Chains A and B, each alone.
Chain A
Amino acid sequence: MKTGPRASVMSTASDTVSLTIPRAQEYLPLFNMLLGGIATRRVLSLEALDDLQLAVDNVILEDRGTTGDLSLAVTLLEEALEIVISPLSDPDLHSTLIEGSVSTEAADRCLDVCLLLSPLVDRYVVHDLDSGTFALELRKLLR
């Protein structure tokens, strides 16, 4: 059963806005709208916003075969935006993000993803989660 998007705002030392959507094409633009709303409030340039949206879109599209809901959490730090996409599970995506190019089969995808992310975000980190899934943290400095 598909569920609709769920949003929440958590106020901690920093502010985090999160949104959970069904993993389907028609809901993905909601992530872009969330990022756009954050960009507006943090005076991010249009180009920086586009970079973030492109990075998020591509990571999600590279995570092939994963089912279930998908979450995006955006944390507003003083000098950066931290974006966490989870859960992801594609093993090729995981290995290439962590190790770079390892196998011929994965090379295209790995280099493609890594190559894409490099100019779009300032840092990305993979966090392993339970049950074989992982989260990808993207960080974009506010310049």
Chain B
Amino acid sequence: MTAASVPLVVESATEPRYRLLRDSGLVAGRYLRVLRMNPGRLIYPLVQPIVLLVLFTSVFGNLAVSGHQGSGAYREFLIPGIIIQNAVLTAPIAGLALLRDAGSGLADRFRSLPMSRPAVLIGRLAYDAILFAIQAVLLIVTAFGLGFSVRTGPAGVVAIALIAVVFGASVSVASAWLALTIGDIETAERVMYFPAIALNFVSSAFAPVPYLAAWMQPIARVNPVTAAADLVRSLAEGGAAARPAVMLGCWVLALAAVPGTLAVRRWQSAP
């Protein structure tokens, strides 16, 4: 064996901060490589949102919503809601993937390596951000075909896509923590979509908050889905964006900090 041919302590004297970026990139690269070998995995997460957008808009798009200031057509209100609710529905994919990995021999391998601890989560989120970005572009292009318009111009369009990516990634953090806390893949597969659906319905994604049942309204007002959907609407219609923007920013930071830290800890200590 070539025991003496390699220095005992490896070329691993890289700085920890650089290490986090490098290792996250390597983890994201792993998922991209798997995707390249199994491109079929992309079909469902990319086709489903488009189909839902077309169905929702075709069925409900011509209803009039009297309470909503704007063009008055429900279509204009609904499309931003669909873009945002899709991010919430896609987020469990990240949690389930991490949970599937957590119990594998590969996870033990990662845990035994001198790699950055949060890189496993951050690398996965970086990969999911790419998925969210492709979804957002497809959704926005399809939405234009369905009569959606953005009054704030190309900058507004880019901002809407970015909101979908950042919001989707932060909900993915929560899904990572939830999945790793549930711990059992079969249970998680059934359980994870329930809070996602609840979060979407108890928000302004499908209807303005004053239209919701009275008990829903206080929850809907603080729901991050409401903040994200309202922010996209403000950008599309050229309205005031400050309030939903601040609220969404707070949610994104809170989700990254609290469930993010807990998820990394869960990953590290998984049985």
Asked if A pairs with B, the answer is: no
Binding site for B on A (CB under 8 A): none
